[in-house]
Structure 1
Amino acid sequence: MAVMGERVFEDRRDAGRVLAGFLEHYRDRPDVVVLGLPRGGVPVAYEIAVALGAPLDVFVVRKLGVPGHEELAMGAIAGGGVVVLNEDIVRGAGVWPDTLREVTADERKELVRRERAYREGRPPPDLMGRTVVVVDDGLATGATMRAAVAALRRHEPAGIVVAVPTASEQAVRELSALADQVVCASTPPLFTAVGFSYRDFEQTTDEEVRDLLRAAAARRVRA
């Protein structure tokens, strides 16, 4: 489900609260787990997890940026050795195979670093048979989310729900063919960048990610 038209959110937390309204039918279901893609997807995912009464965790995915134009995704990697490439961008940017291997190796190191930094010794959740709501702050090319869905399939969940506040129509179409459901609150007709859907789009820090994961865990213990 994607809502046609443009909407501007105050910040990621506001976007998460809005998006949670489209996911009400998952509230208080014991099989549901919410996963945020660090870093920007975690504040959005936190609000969704709170609204649904579901546990929150992270799923680390790294974009493979074109050298010199790092914001342009030529692909993405996720845990378990999953690599998703946008072949059109790789060819169009003239990226050599050696360069692609170097970028992938560098991003894999960062993926491992973030896994350790965010989990703080906690094991990843068991996703087999669960309904996974995987969240980011928006989709431009959708490469990172495609890698996430491909990697999550290896865990044999009952279903994968992609939830994002904003996305291009093309990204929604492509993800709809891969995920069991795509929920998007805003699809601007002339999508140029995720940040244009937010009034405050400051970069999320590692410490903020850790704080939100701790806060979500504390809420679950109290509940």
Structure 2
Amino acid sequence: MATAFHEFRDRRAAGRALALALTAYGGQADVRVLALPRGGVPVAFEVARALHAPLDVFVVRKLGVPGHEEYAMGAIASGEVQVLDEEVVRRLGISEAAIDRVVNAERAELERREQRYRCARPAPEVRGCRVLLVDDGLATGATMRAAVRALRLLDPARIVVCSPVASVQAAALLREEADEVVCLGTPAHFRAVGAWYVDFSQTTDEEVMELLGRRP
């Protein structure tokens, strides 16, 4: 059911609010917080700090429709995971060759971000752990869906999708994929993630690196 909802001041404020809904995971040795960069990192930083849990990133890239890149037709994630919205692909008549071009371009960016954000650090060990997978908002859910599927390959004990705000449709979709979905609001008229933030300025690579350097 959609709920009444109000704006967050910024991503850090949203993270502090989200952490209050995750207190049951605080101080637990098997809990890991993974952020979807870039926008999910400031949110996840506040969650990890409040819960005294390790913080890292889980890199995922949206696959935008050619010529309308803001509209997702799917996503890719670490581990060669690819999720396509077959209905969108079919309705828009997107060819396999066009999909391949988008995937190749986003794969290169995914690898660049992994190398930059990790700075030679190994990927986090999540086998047998409870993982809080955090983003700043869920519009279609495609990117988070790819992240959940990729994370399953690493054999965590539990995957909890965490977001300050989500569309009703995305929240429902992800409840089918994750073990749990924690979302502070599912506005009936969602519009876009940025509509629910007073300050939704782009998170930069430099901010991601700075927050990861201060990880709890």
Shorter-chain TM-score bucket reads over 0.9
Report 1:1-223 matches (<5 A): 4-216=3-215, 219=216
Shift of 1:31: 0.2
Q: Is 2:26–2:52's contact at 8 Å kept on the other side of the alignment? A: yes
C-alpha distance after superposition, 1:39-88 (max 9, x if no partner): 00000000000000000000000000001111110000001110001111
Tell me how far apart the structure 2 counterparts of residues 5 and 123 of structure 1 sit (CA, whole Å): 41
Residues 149, 100 of structure 1: CA spacing in aligned structure 2 closer, same or farther, 3 A cutoff?
Answer: same
Q: Is 2:75–2:82's contact at 8 Å kept on the other side of the alignment? A: yes
Tell me how far apart the structure 2 counterparts of residues 92 and 117 of structure 1 sit (CA, whole Å): 37
Normalising by structure 1, what TM-score? 0.95
Q: Which runs of 5+ in 1 are unaligned?
A: none
Shift of 1:3: 7.5
Q: Is 1:27–1:51's contact at 8 Å kept on the other side of the alignment? A: yes
Tell me how far apart the structure 2 counterparts of residues 54 and 4 of structure 1 sit (CA, whole Å): 29
Q: Which runs of 5+ in 2 are unaligned?
A: none
C-alpha distance after superposition, 1:84-105 (max 9, x if no partner): 0111111222211100000001
Tell me how far apart the structure 2 counterparts of residues 86 and 110 of structure 1 sit (CA, whole Å): 21
Aligned to 2:115, the other structure's residue is in SS state helix
> Could you tell me which amino acid in structure 2 is paired with residue 78 of structure 1?
A
Aligned to 2:164, the other structure's residue is in SS state strand
Q: Is 1:61–1:148's contact at 8 Å kept on the other side of the alignment? A: yes
Tell me how far apart the structure 1 counterparts of residues 191 and 205 of structure 2 sit (CA, whole Å): 26
Tell me how far apart the structure 2 counterparts of residues 213 and 89 of structure 1 sit (CA, whole Å): 35
Q: Is 2:79–2:150's contact at 8 Å kept on the other side of the alignment? A: yes
- How many residues get paired? 216
Give me the CA root mean square deviation.
1.0
Normalising by structure 2, what TM-score? 0.98
Larger helix proportion of the pair: 1
